Amino acid sequence: METERIEVPAPSRAYPVLVGPGLLDRPQILQEWVGDGGILAVTSRTVAGLYLNRLTALAGGRGCESLVLPDGEEAKDIRHWQRILHRMARLELKRDCTLISLGGGCVGDVAGFAAACYHRGVNYLQLPTTLLAQVDSSVGGKTAINTEWGKNLVGAFHQPLAVICDTDVLNTLPDRQLKAGLAEVVKYGAIADEEFLGWLEINGRALLARDPACLRHAVRRSVEIKAAIVGEDEHDSSGRRAVLNFGHSFGHAIEHTAGYGQWLHGEAVAAGMCMAARLAVAEGDLQSREQERLETLLADLGLPVNAGDLDAGALKKAMLSDKKNARGRIRLILPRGLGNARLTGDFSMDALDAVLSGRAS
Ligand SMILES: NC(=O)c1ccc[n+]([C@@H]2O[C@H](COP(=O)([O-])OP(=O)(O)OC[C@H]3O[C@@H](n4cnc5c(N)ncnc54)[C@H](O)[C@@H]3O)[C@@H](O)[C@H]2O)c1
Ligand SMILES: [Zn+2]
């Protein structure tokens, strides 16, 4: 099966995303993207057990040092960020070194932030291993760690040299993680490409069964959509990039209210997109049958379509602290038909309350 190549036209640095099976076995990957300096690979425990030896084998005689972090959000912490920097310094890596992240979005975010900081920015190659990381976090140059005052509070924009998405590694991903990644895939269709939503409706079952050609297409189309948006608004300053947050204000409120770790991010985004769609119906921007279509697709992919029994008041309080808000007013990404969305603060608070309390359907 051929490898797909998508260019990310970020103004600070354009770079390719390669998508396809078997990429982790191709020595050309390191030959093409890694310079003459040293290499440090950052990964997490589970991924190290599965794939780290494949990466170090690719490096062959060049040598590839590695650092294994904990799985999940625990890695996105100042202590682990510092561990990466200390290791780089002890290895006496120079500006021509390359930092490689092999793992999910958490490893990618903390390693990317270390790459942005070491010598004020060194080469960074992403090998994302979750569906969410392949379709979302590895593309676009946002890096960050969490602090006790907020998730992703400290970070930098630092674009990678390249992103290598080996779709074979998705075979070992737990079902729940695969589905959570599919929520972001549906998001791309909902904000930018109704035809892609139709493709997902037809191929949902095959995606859940991890059909290789379907996975490659889903990752490719998602990356194409994200790449185009990042090209227009690399630093999230014009409002264009904000559409990538469709479903996320509701989703973050769900994650926060339920307690972090209860809902996977993608699960919360799935329910959040359905809630945003219900609000758009109330505002006359989306037809009921379009909202039902989105909801049926997400439900068929095994994703939640509402916030369950979470308290509406607590959800609203969490939404009031969202960073997209301006002048005390909640701003949301709302769909305008399927395949289109916009950032707006222009909606009825009563309609929002009805959505949060589950009264809107
Ligand atoms: N930078 C961005 O633009 C951006 C965008 C979206 C999300 N994010 C961040 O991404 C993070 C979430 O990333 P995630 O969903 O990938 O979660 P994750 O990194 O926690 O990975 C999920 C779990 O899957 C395991 N895993 C990874 N690859 C595997 C594989 N191939 N087989 C088996 N297990 C595997 C990991 O070890 C981990 O336990 C969040 O911190 C979020 O803030 C960043
Ligand atoms: Zn997301």
Residue 251 has pLDDT above 80, yes or no: yes
How are beta strands 65-69 and 39-44 bridged, if at all?
parallel
How far is 17 from 141, CA to CA, in rounded Å? 12
Q: Are residues 118 and 165 in the same domain?
A: yes
83 within a domain of the structure (yes/no): yes
Q: Find out whether 294 and 277 touch, Cβ atoms under 8 Å.
A: yes
pLDDT of residue 360: 77
Do 152 and 16 have their domain in common?
Answer: yes
- Dump pLDDT digits (tens) for 47-87: 999 999 999 998 877 889 999 999 999 999 999 999 999 99
Is 183 part of any domain? yes
Closest Cα to atom 20 of ligand 1: 72
What's the CA-to-centroid distance between 181 and ligand 2, angstroms? 9
Does any domain span residue 88? yes
Q: Which of 228, 230, 236 is nearest to 196 (CA)?
A: 228
Question: Is the domain of 108 the same as that of 222?
Answer: no
DSSP 261-317: TSS-HHHHHHHHHHHHHHHHHHTTSS-HHHHHHHHHHHHHTT---S-TT--HHHHHH
In a domain, 164, yes or no: yes
Alpha helices, DSSP H, located in 48-193: 53-59, 78-90, 105-117, 131-132, 175-192
55 & 167 share domain: yes
Residues 196 and 164 in one domain: no
Percent of the chain with pLDDT over 90: 89
pLDDT single digits (tens) 89-147? 999 999 999 999 999 999 999 999 999 999 999 999 999 999 999 999 999 999 999 99
Q: Residue 219: inside a domain, yes or no?
A: yes
Residues 322 and 191 grouped into a single domain = yes
pLDDT score recorded for residue 151: 87
* Of the residues 153, 172, 191, the one at which a domain ends: 172
Domain at 190, CATH number: 1.20.1090.10
Q: Is 301 exposed, middle or buried (0-12, 13-18, 19+ CB in 10 A)?
A: buried
The residue to which tokens 């859940």 are assigned: 208
- To the nearest 10 degrees (0 to 180), the angle between helices 175-192 and 194-208 is 170
Q: Tell me, what CATH number does 29's domain have?
A: 3.40.50.1970
Q: Closest ligand to 140 CA? A: 1
Task: Indicate whether 168 pLDDT > 90.
Answer: yes
Q: Looking at the structure, tell me whether residues 112 and 147 fall in a common domain.
A: yes
Whether the model clears a pTM of 0.95, i.e. scores above it, the answer is yes
Residue 276 to residue 98: CA distance in whole angstroms: 41
How many structural domains compose the chain? 2
Nearest CA to ligand 1 atom 6: 137
Nearest CA to ligand 1 atom 7: 137
CB burial of residue 225 (10 Å; 0-12, 13-18, 19+): buried
Task: Show which of 172, 194, 224 is a domain's final residue.
Answer: 172
Shared domain for 142 and 193, answered yes or no, is: no
For residues 126 and 220, membership in a common domain is answered with: no
* Total length of the chain: 361
pLDDT at 327 over 80: no
The answer to the question of residue 361 being in a domain is no
The domain boundary residue, chosen from 138, 172, 206: 172
Q: Whose CA is closest to atom 33 on ligand 1? A: 173
Whether 66 lines ligand 1, by a CB cut-off of 6 Å, is no
Which domain range does residue 229 map to? 175-356
User: 135-158 b/e with 16+ CB inside 10 Å = b?
Assistant: bbbbbbbbbbbbeeeeeeeebebb
Q: Residues 185, 166: one domain?
A: no
DSSP-assigned beta bridge partners for residue 100: 41, 125
**Token representation of residue 149:** 């005052």
Q: C-alpha distances in angstroms, 134 versus 104, 128, 143, 156, 268?
A: 8, 5, 15, 19, 19
Do 24 and 127 fall within a single domain?
Answer: yes
Would you tell me how many other CB atoms lie within 10 Å of the CB of residue 85?
Answer: 15
**Could you tell me if the CB of 177 is within 6 A of ligand 1?**
yes
- 147 and 225 in a single domain? The answer is no
Give 75's DSSP letter.
G
> Ligand 1 centroid to 40 CA: how many Å?
19
SS3 call for 234 = coil
